[in-house]
Amino acid sequence: MAARGTSAMPAARRRGGAALRRPLSGIEQREKMYEGKAKIVYATSRPDVVIQYFKDDATAFNALKRGTILGKGVVNNRMSATLFEALGRRGVPTHYLATLSEREMLCRKLDIIKIETIVRNVVAGSLAKRTGLEEGTDLKEPIVELYYKSDPLGDPMLNDEHVQLLKLGTPHELAWMKRMARRINVVLRPHLRKRGLLLVDFKLEFGRAGKRLYLGDEISPDTCRLWDAQTREKLDKDRFRRDLGGVEEAYQEVYRRVVEGEAHP
């Protein structure tokens, strides 16, 4: 990773940064701000810019299950960058600014809204459990759900009134997040389908910077359910959660299709 006190930018594949007031050159990595389950966030010499470092550490079931998925950090960093760029081209504002290295991403600093926005196209996971519908049932229309991003509470489901009760976001912000979540699904679903992947469901996090909202966090096999479009084989973190084996291989397969753009039926 970029050494402290050195420029974070030389090897970077830079992206626009048009909305930023100053160019991205000469940004230096500073102190660790936060370490989460899968990522570390570092401050930089710019107060409005951070570095996300992607780890191989994996957790599930509110960190009751822990492990390592070798190479996961590289897959998640590079896949997120690829998809953030695709979304940016389609008018979705994201926190992505540049790829610094295999595991480091330069990002706009966000005040993260404590809501996990989930979009579902196919029944799986907690939707199957909550409704009794069979996993794999196609949904006629995508479903958007909100969860409270709270480890102590185990990320409970919320409705709009709970969001107001907890003052997690304004009605305007909530409407924007739901609208953007559906637009992201409209972009990602065909993008991934062309690469032989069925986008079953995914989690998004949004945040504020100045007066604007942006998509933050990551889009990866950690945060999406991705099935092979032909065989419906699981190619995501469910392989780790459910002890299915072949976890690293699944992440590498997704990398080949999404990042390297390997053609697929």
Supply the DSSP symbol for 129: H
Pick one of 223, 227, 247, 253: the residue that binds ligand 5GP (CB under 6 A).
Answer: 223
Q: What is the distance between the alpha carbons of residues 106 and 81, in angstroms, rounded to a whole number?
A: 10
Rounded-to-10 torsion of CA 256, 259, 261, 262 = 0
Which burial class, exposed, middle or buried, applies to 2 when counting CB atoms under 10 A from its CB (0-12, 13-18, 19+)? buried
Residue window 125-144: x/- pattern of binding to ligand 5GP, with contact defined by CB under 6 A: xxx-----------------
**Least CB distance from residue 90 to ligand 5GP, whole Å?**
21
Shorter beta-carbon distance to ligand 5GP: residue 77 or 223: 223
Is 225 an interacting residue with respect to ligand 5GP (CB under 6 A)? Answer: yes
Q: Please, which residue, 133 or 175, has the CB nearer to ligand 5GP?
A: 133
Q: How far is the CB of 128 from ligand 5GP (least distance, A)?
A: 8
Could you tell me the strand order of the sheet in which 224-228 lies?
A: 157-158, 138-148, 115-122, 197-204, 224-228
52 touches ligand 5GP (CB under 6 A):
no
Which residue's CB is nearer to ligand 5GP, number 108 or number 225? 225
d(CA 201, CA 207): 20
Per rule CB under 6 A, is residue 203 in the interface with ligand 5GP?
yes
Among residues 57, 85, 155, 228, which is the contact residue for ligand 5GP, using CB under 6 A? 155
